[in-house]
Amino acid sequence: MTDKPRKRPKCSTCGKCCRAPVILITKPSDLRRWAQQGRSDILRYASVPVLRGYGDLWISIDGSEGSGYCPFIRRVSQDKFTCTIQDTKPKVCKEFWCEWTYGVGQKGIPFKTDRGWTDRAKQLGYGQSTNRSRQNASVQSHK
């Protein structure tokens, strides 16, 4: 383990995390915030939490099975994308960082998520108690 400071994560805006068909969860805090903000445009893609307080995100408007693709991602150039709800995006999205953002792998591959560091991140020394405060400070300063 090295005491060298970790690279500060920076999004490449490739959109791979938003365009991949994945299952995302709605957290109660997200639903409350969107309701308070009057964001029916977002709420129509989120199911109400039923089990353990979590629902699904990005479901189809007609109630059928969702694609998993974020309906709020927009292409801004050939290989760049932007989040049109950046100011109020879901917690699960705010807490996602891919391997590329830390300079240790590919774009779109989870490295740190709302559930914590991935196994690969832990193998590389991330999430260890000796570096936890420095890593948390780095991520918080980026957000």
- Residue of 104, 74, 91, 71 whose CA lies nearest to 143: 91
- Residue of 22, 100, 24 whose CA lies nearest to 109: 100
What are the pLDDT digits (tens) for 31-79?
Answer: 889 999 999 999 888 877 665 666 667 765 444 455 557 888 899 999 9
What are the pLDDT digits (tens) for 103-127?
Answer: 888 998 889 988 889 999 999 988 8
What local confidence, expressed as pLDDT, does residue 8 receive?
67
Q: Please say if the pLDDT value at position 134 is more than 50.
A: no
> Which tops the pLDDT comparison, 100 or 7?
100
pTM beyond 0.75: the answer is no
d(CA 48, CA 140): 29
Torsion of CA 53, 59, 65, 66, to 10 degrees: -120
On the CB side of 58, how many CA atoms lie within 13 Å of its CA?
Answer: 19
**In angstroms, what CA-CA distances link 127 with 6, 71, 86, 134?**
11, 32, 26, 10
Q: Please say if the pLDDT value at position 132 is more than 70.
A: no
Q: Please say if the pLDDT value at position 20 is more than 90.
A: no
What are the pLDDT digits (tens) for 81-96?
Answer: 999 999 999 988 888 8
Coil vs helix vs strand at 16: helix
Phi and psi at 77, nearest 5°, equal: -160, -175
